[in-house]
Amino acid sequence: MKKLLYTSLFIAALISPGINAQYQPKNTSKEDMKKAQQWVEKTYKNLSQDEKLGQLFIVALYTNKGEDYINQVRNIVTNDKIGGLILMQDDAAREINLVNEFQQKSKVPLMIGMDAEWGLFQRIATAHKFPWAMTLGAIQDKNLIYQMSAKIAEDCHRMGVNWDFAPVVDVNTNPNNPIIGNRSFGSEVDNVISSALSYSNGLQDNNILAAIKHFPGHGDTSTDSHLDLPVVPHNMERLNSTELAPFKALMNKGIGGVMVAHLYVPSLESGKGIPASVSKNIITGLLKDKLGYKGLIITDALNMGAVANKYKPGELDAMAFKAGNDIMLFSQGVSEGKKLIQKAIDTKEIPQSRVEESVKKILLTKYFLGLTQYSPKNPENINTDLNNDSHKTLVQNLYSNALTLLKDEKKLLPLSGKQVYYVPLEEAPYQTFANRMGSSIVIKKASDINTIPAGSTVIVGFHKDNSTAYKPYKISSESKKVLADLTKNQNVILNVFGSAYALKDIDLSKVSTVLVSYENNDDSMNATADALNGKTKIWGRLPVLVNDQLKPGMGMDLNSVSLMNTK
């Protein structure tokens, strides 16, 4: 598989003063660079001004909104000559057919993007789900994250997608963050950087563009930017050490895109209430000029309430371009935006060179991603190709390596076939875990805990709803009471099938053993059962600050039974 070497140096030195890019194919010869230059220059010159402006826009393509909606997108692709699409829910085969159609109709190949942070499952329900970033942050062998994103890249190619809007590099320092949370690698800057670099390289080494997001940092917010404008109130010292730190560390690692958030950051933008996504101070002044980023700069989705509720379609797009963005994502007003950008050029509010800079950067990226040799994708067997045993094996290994043992005072693990009782609590399914544990466990309902003999080993499973990354992690008072009652006479193993933040206000002083599995799904439950039975090693580390007792980096190693028997 052809690998890419990504560099933050100006390609301009090799090709032309007007073309910057963040990456180039590995071992690119001068002749290859000359061909890239020729294609970009020839293509740019052959575009009308209206077609050049069209390259700046990406619109959404849903297949669950009916044919009238799809026809609207078809008309935008045809009439506005847009630069790309972002694939949303939900029919993979239909999306492939539409992408094939639209690519064939487009004078310039379309950039096809997708939010696939935890794989294509994020948008395609029939695909296989990969772990959330918080789970990945617990993994110590970051090469496993590389393997995961390489597999996501394979799935992207299968769909005709060439840009995964991932990874999230927000440092999640706020447990009450409603929109980042599980999507962050954790609350420690170094862990976020190393995890994100592995994820980005896994994509880009396999010819899928990455985009680190959400600049300048969405980790300490308590407002959902899909609904309203969050505020990041910190001073510059704090921003530099935490929020901005991953972006600054990763920008010279060749990552091809940066996505700018809809956030108000007073320390970076003096204009009251101006979102980062339309702030010239933040995008041009900080990201481009001060930090020297040369890759593609793209807005977060422009349909989000943080900005869509405050500005008109088209007006918002023009503001975003004037601020320094190359691409307006999820545009709600392409034709209006083009007219307003052109008006700003005509009145010399912005120079034509800004259009040239962005469009040539976009064209060069498309060239290096191989879009000039685009071949139609085959929709047959797509659901099986996106969800099969190769996915399951990889994903269960990821969950296995993420498992974090926070304490085991009575050395209850591994169980190795010992008779134990199991009390499943909270709202989510648990049967997969029980089945994998086998006949060695006896399931007891919460109402029957008094029938468990004193001194028994009891697994208490907190099974939280895993249907989205945004579900609440808090544990009910009823479950807390059951746990407290069991610790009076039993040897308790608490297993959290959910966010580590669920332990924030749980009294663990009398709980012998605490294991965090991070998520509640079949792959996670199977991996956990195998680890409890001593089939696999446990060596994950806590990626977030939960409370004063549970800090980032905490965790114990527990070898598998086979490793123990060799000692």
Phi, psi of 165 (to 5 degrees): -75, 75
Sheet holding 491-497, edge to edge: 404-408, 513-516, 491-497, 457-463, 420-425, 441-443
Question: Over 90: is that where the pLDDT of 484 sits?
Answer: yes
Q: Which amino acid is at 182?
A: N
pLDDT digits (tens, 9 = 90+) for 72-107: 999 999 999 999 999 999 899 999 999 999 999 999
Selected residue with higher pLDDT from 233 and 16: 233
Average pLDDT rounded to a whole number, residues 364-379: 95
Q: Give whole-number Cα distances, 411 to 402, 424, 502, 511, 513, in Å.
A: 20, 22, 23, 12, 8
pLDDT digits (tens, 9 = 90+) for 75-84: 999 999 999 9
The C-alpha atoms of residue 161 and residue 86 are separated, in whole angstroms, by 9
Place of tokens 């008072």: 477
What is residue 462's three-state secondary structure?
A: strand
Q: Which residues 6+ apart lie within 8 Å of 121 measured at CB?
A: 127, 128, 129, 130
Residue 199's pLDDT band, with cuts at 50, 70 and 90, is: very high
Q: Which CATH superfamily is domain 30-387 in?
A: Glycoside hydrolase, family 3, N-terminal domain (3.20.20.300)
Token output for 172 = 């999640």
Question: Over 60: is that where the pLDDT of 357 sits?
Answer: yes
The C-alpha atoms of residue 447 and residue 444 are separated, in whole angstroms, by 8
The percentage of the chain sitting over the pLDDT mark of 70, rounded to a whole number, equals: 95
The C-alpha atoms of residue 152 and residue 207 are separated, in whole angstroms, by 11
- CB 406 within 8 Å of CB 556: yes
Token output for 85 = 């699409």
Residue 2's pLDDT band, with cuts at 50, 70 and 90, is: very low
Q: How many CB atoms lie within 10 A of CB 421?
A: 21
Which pLDDT value is given to residue 30?
86
Q: Nearest Cα to 473, choosing from 131, 125, 177, 119?
A: 177
Which pLDDT value is given to residue 306?
86
Strand partners, 6: 23
Helix axes 334-346, 315-323, angle to 10 degrees: 50
Which pLDDT value is given to residue 470?
95
- CB 368 within 8 Å of CB 36: yes
- CB 215 within 8 Å of CB 249: no
- Kindly report the average pLDDT of the chain as a whole number: 94
Residue 3's pLDDT band, with cuts at 50, 70 and 90, is: very low
Question: Over 80: is that where the pLDDT of 429 sits?
Answer: yes
Average pLDDT rounded to a whole number, residues 484-510: 98
Instruction: Kindly state the DSSP code that residue 430 receives in the 8-state scheme.
Output: -
Question: Over 60: is that where the pLDDT of 395 sits?
Answer: yes
Which pLDDT value is given to residue 313?
84
Which pLDDT value is given to residue 25?
67
Question: Over 60: is that where the pLDDT of 9 sits?
Answer: no
Residue 19's pLDDT band, with cuts at 50, 70 and 90, is: low
Question: Over 90: is that where the pLDDT of 17 sits?
Answer: no
Rounded to the nearest 10°, the torsion over CA 32, 33, 35, 39 is 140
Average pLDDT rounded to a whole number, residues 122-130: 98
Which pLDDT value is given to residue 567?
58
**Concatenated DSSP letters of 18-81:** T---SEEETT--HHHHHHHHHHHHHHHHTS-HHHHHHTTEEEEE-SSS-HHHHHHHHHHHHHH-
Question: Over 90: is that where the pLDDT of 277 sits?
Answer: yes
Question: Over 70: is that where the pLDDT of 21 sits?
Answer: no
Q: Nearest Cα to 167, choosing from 126, 224, 218, 221?
A: 218
Place of tokens 């959404």: 60
Which pLDDT value is given to residue 225?
86
Token output for 208 = 């899928």
- CB 328 within 8 Å of CB 337: yes
Sheet holding 111-114, edge to edge: 163-164, 111-114, 84-87, 57-61, 328-329
Which pLDDT value is given to residue 16?
43
Angle in degrees, CA 265, 304, 203, rounded to 5: 85
Selected residue with higher pLDDT from 416 and 506: 506
Q: Half-sphere exposure (CA, 13 Å, Cβ side) for 479?
A: 22
Question: Over 80: is that where the pLDDT of 280 sits?
Answer: yes
Which pLDDT value is given to residue 11?
38
Average pLDDT rounded to a whole number, residues 294-307: 94
Phi, psi of 452 (to 5 degrees): -80, 125
Residue 7's pLDDT band, with cuts at 50, 70 and 90, is: very low
Residue 5's pLDDT band, with cuts at 50, 70 and 90, is: very low
Instruction: Kindly state the DSSP code that residue 426 receives in the 8-state scheme.
Output: S
Which pLDDT value is given to residue 4?
44
Question: Over 60: is that where the pLDDT of 373 sits?
Answer: yes
pLDDT digits (tens, 9 = 90+) for 302-311: 999 889 888 8
Q: Give whole-number Cα distances, 257 to 110, 161, 165, 214, 541, in Å.
A: 16, 15, 8, 11, 29
pLDDT digits (tens, 9 = 90+) for 217-255: 999 998 888 889 999 999 999 999 999 999 999 998 989
Which pLDDT value is given to residue 417?
80
Q: In terms of CATH architecture, what is 403-533?
A: 3-Layer(aba) Sandwich (3.40)
Average pLDDT rounded to a whole number, residues 274-291: 97
Residue 20's pLDDT band, with cuts at 50, 70 and 90, is: low
Q: Nearest Cα to 114, choosing from 126, 123, 106?
A: 123
Average pLDDT rounded to a whole number, residues 267-296: 96
Token output for 195 = 């995890």
Average pLDDT rounded to a whole number, residues 284-306: 95
Q: Nearest Cα to 40, choosing from 59, 8, 17, 57?
A: 17
Give the domain ranges of the chain: 30-387, 403-533
